[in-house]
Structure 1
Amino acid sequence: MSELPDKRQVAASFSRAAASYDGVAELQRAVGGELLARLPADLAPRRWLDLGCGTGHFSRALAGRFPAACGLAVDIAEGMLRHARPLGGARQFVAGDAECLPLRDGCCELVFSSLALQWCADFAAVLAEARRVLAPGGVLAFSSLCVGTLQELRDSWQAVDGFTHVNRFRRFEDYQALCAASGLEPLELSRQMRVLHYPDLRLLTRELKALGAHNLNPGRPGGLTGRARIQALIGAYERFREPAGLPATYQVIYGVLRRPVSGG
């Protein structure tokens, strides 16, 4: 998966978005809540890791679900960690990269990661690191995004110019192949479409910026976008309007994988 954004740009973008993120994170809350509901019913970790913790919303949810466990929250964005630390949930908040975790082998029984791993260029390395830090029998539960996400916005920009204006995502088939080769046992790997609606395009693009998830890809156009092109984009997007408003489609991946108890 080439041409994903540079990690430093991702970290800087989400750091800037720390204060505004929770106010516009409807999708993120719904997806993370669904991922929590998909955890094995018998899971009782002594230590859990919230990987890509963001503002710490799900660190606090994990602390509530597993009150006897010790929690660790990791994020690549220092601004998010500064926002999350005073709110609690995890015992420690650590700056770290999902592709090279600053953790010892077999240190936790649950790695939970919701809507963060789509920014990692080397998903095989993410899976290898999760497998390394999980104790035998431990669980990796993640949600991510795949091709088809924000397709309306992508198609509308395609009608206006040839630049990359929308973040690129892996194919679902790539997630399937990488998970199958990871050495982790897949308990679940599924795709679910979620559609949000907006009264106008400005609110959608404002929300993406507030989340830190606006266009971070290489090849994106530099400088300001001209008024004529914006008007053309609005006109192109209006073709997708539904009674509920302008749709924004997200293709969400849910994965629950277990490290084998033996031979793993």
Structure 2
Amino acid sequence: MTDLSVATFAGHLPDKRQVAVSFSRAAASYDSVAELQRAVGHELLACLPAHLAPSRWVDLGSGTGYFSRALAQQFAHSEGVALDIAQGMLAFARPLGGAQHFIAGDAESLPLHADSCDLIFSSLALQWCGDFGRVLSEAHRVLKPGGVLAFASLCVGTLSELRDSWRAVDGQVHVNRFRAFGTYQQLCADSPLRLLTLQSQPHVLHYAQVRQLTHELKALGAHNLNPGRPEGLTGRARIQALIRSYEQFRQPQGLPATYQVVYGLLEKTP
């Protein structure tokens, strides 16, 4: 992927300051609606190499600290670092423990020393980074030789039902954009880290009504933050049109919302 295409994709992503503010506001409501986030994170934990025994781990994009606490249980004698771009998430997580350090920081410019960590664990955070190649370079810098980066992110196809339904209504940008799985493949192959595994897997949630999905996205802080999104309130007529359009996807279990999740495991060669 060329520098130009990285810059072009980054231009389609929300400003990181907006992301930080949105997730900070969602700190108190996040865990109540984080079914997908918990499922994906636990699957990522299960992907970790069995022999891994880090002396220091980093939960990158730690959010409310749910997986910082899970990592602390799994690696009881290790030192933990919870790192997130959203100050509100860190403030929420700190009293709950799990990590020894809670640090505000950006995955594209980690505020950590070189060769200082054995594991970087990141579940559903890196999709907000415009330059994923830079994320991989920073992980390589911070990891000790033999250290592992384990990440789960989102790719093209995520919330396709919602995107297609909105496109039928007004053609405007209502759903967050994500990079293609092929781009993840290329950037991982080009990175200084050794690729162990990389796969894409769909996770499908079901809802009785569209408003349950849109409410959940807002409670997560993951509602539409894209450049080009419509400004102001969405009118009742357009909401009704969205509901009618989304009904074409209804299944016996309800209205599906598909998340295309990328799972990656990379190692810094000794």
Q: TM-score range by the shorter chain?
A: over 0.9
Counterpart code for 1:250: Y
Write the deviation string for residues 19-69 of structure 1: whole angstroms up to 9, x where unpaired.
000000000000000000000000000000000000000000000000010
Residue 168 of structure 1 corresponds to 177
Tell me the residue number matched to 1:258. Answer: 267
RMSD across aligned positions (CA): 0.4
Q: Which amino acid aligns with 1:21?
A: Y
Written as runs of structure 1 = structure 2, the 5 A alignment for 1:129-208 is: 129-208=138-217
Partner of 2:3: none
Supply the AA of the counterpart residue of 2:233.
L
Aligned length: 261
Q: Deviations over 1:98-137 (max 9, x none)?
A: 0001110010000000000000011011111111000000
| Matching of residue 60 in structure 1 with residue 65 in structure 2 | no
Q: Give the structure 2 partner of residue 39 of structure 1.
A: 48
Q: Distance in 1 between matches of 2:216 and 2:262?
A: 21
* C-alpha distance in structure 2 between counterparts of 1:162 and 1:246, whole Å: 21
Deviation at residue 255 of structure 1 after TM alignment: 0.2
* 2:247 paired with 1:230: no
What SS does the aligned partner of 2:169 have?
coil
1:11 aligns with 2:4: no
Question: Which one of 126, 129, 134 corresponds to residue 117 of structure 1?
Answer: 126
Match of 1:248 in 2: 257
Which amino acid in 2 is paired with 1:260?
T
Distance in 2 between residues matched to 1:126 and 1:17, nearest whole Å: 24
2:44 maps to amino acid: L
Normalising to structure 1: TM-score of the pair? 0.98
Structure 1 partner of 2:87: 78
Calculate percent identity across the aligned residue pairs. Answer: 72
Structure 2 spans left out of the alignment, 5+ residues: 1-8
Aligned residue in 2 for 1:209: 218
Counterpart CA distance in 2 for 1:169 and 1:204 is 18
1:44 counterpart letter in structure 2: A
* TM-score normalised by length of structure 2: 0.96
Taking the aligned partners of 1:242 and 1:162, their CA distance within structure 2 comes to 24
CA distance in 2, matches of 1:162, 1:8: 26
Q: How does 1:90-129 map to 2 (within 5 A)?
A: 90-129=99-138
Distance in 1 (CA, whole Å) between partners of 2:197 and 2:97 is 30
Deviation at 1:162, TM superposition (A): 1.7
